[in-house]
Amino acid sequence: LPAGLSQWFPALEVLDVSGTGLTEMGTELLSLPCLHTLLAKNNRLGGPGSLPKGLGQAPLARSLRVLNLSGNRFSEVPPVLLQLRGLRSLSLGGNRLQGIPPDIQELHSLEFLYLGGNFITAIPPELAKLPSLRYLVLCDNKIQSIPPQLAQLHSLRSLSLHNNLLTYLPREILNLVHLDELSLRGNPLVVRFVRDLTYNPPSLQELAGRTVKTRNIPYTPSDLPESLVRYLSLASNCPNPKCGGVYFDSCVRQIKFVDFCGKYRLPLMHYLCSPECSSPFSSASQSSTSQSESDSEDEASVAAHRMQKVLLG
Residue 116: phi, psi to the nearest 5?
-70, 155
Q: According to the model, what pLDDT value does residue 299 have?
A: 42
Domain membership of residue 78 (yes or no) is yes
CA–CA distance, 18 with 35 (Å, rounded to integer): 16
Q: Can you list the residues of the chain whose pLDDT is less than 50?
A: 1-3, 194, 280-308, 312-313
Q: According to the model, what pLDDT value does residue 307 have?
A: 47
CA–CA distance, 255 with 15 (Å, rounded to integer): 49
Q: According to the model, what pLDDT value does residue 218 have?
A: 92
Residue 14: phi, psi to the nearest 5?
-130, 130
Q: According to the model, what pLDDT value does residue 69 have?
A: 97
Domain membership of residue 178 (yes or no) is yes
Q: According to the model, what pLDDT value does residue 244 have?
A: 82
Domain membership of residue 45 (yes or no) is yes
Q: According to the model, what pLDDT value does residue 308 have?
A: 46
Amino acid at 270: H
Domain membership of residue 249 (yes or no) is no
Q: What is the pTM of this model?
A: 0.73
Structural domain containing residue 51: 5-196
Domain membership of residue 181 (yes or no) is yes
Q: According to the model, what pLDDT value does residue 19 have?
A: 95
Q: According to the model, what pLDDT value does residue 121 have?
A: 96
Residue 102: phi, psi to the nearest 5?
-55, -25
Assign residue 156 the CATH number of its domain: 3.80.10.10
Domain membership of residue 274 (yes or no) is no
CA–CA distance, 191 with 116 (Å, rounded to integer): 23
Q: According to the model, what pLDDT value does residue 59 have?
A: 81
Residue 27: phi, psi to the nearest 5?
-70, -15
97 φψ region: left (φ > 0), alpha (ψ -120 to 50), beta (else): beta
Q: Based on the structure, what is the number of domains in the chain?
A: 1
Q: According to the model, what pLDDT value does residue 105 have?
A: 95
Domain membership of residue 147 (yes or no) is yes
Domain membership of residue 20 (yes or no) is yes
Q: According to the model, what pLDDT value does residue 306 have?
A: 46
- DSSP class of 57: G
Reported as half-sphere exposure (CB side, CA atoms, 13 A), residue 311 has a value of: 13
Q: According to the model, what pLDDT value does residue 282 have?
A: 37
Among 201, 194, 169, smallest CA distance to 182 is for 169
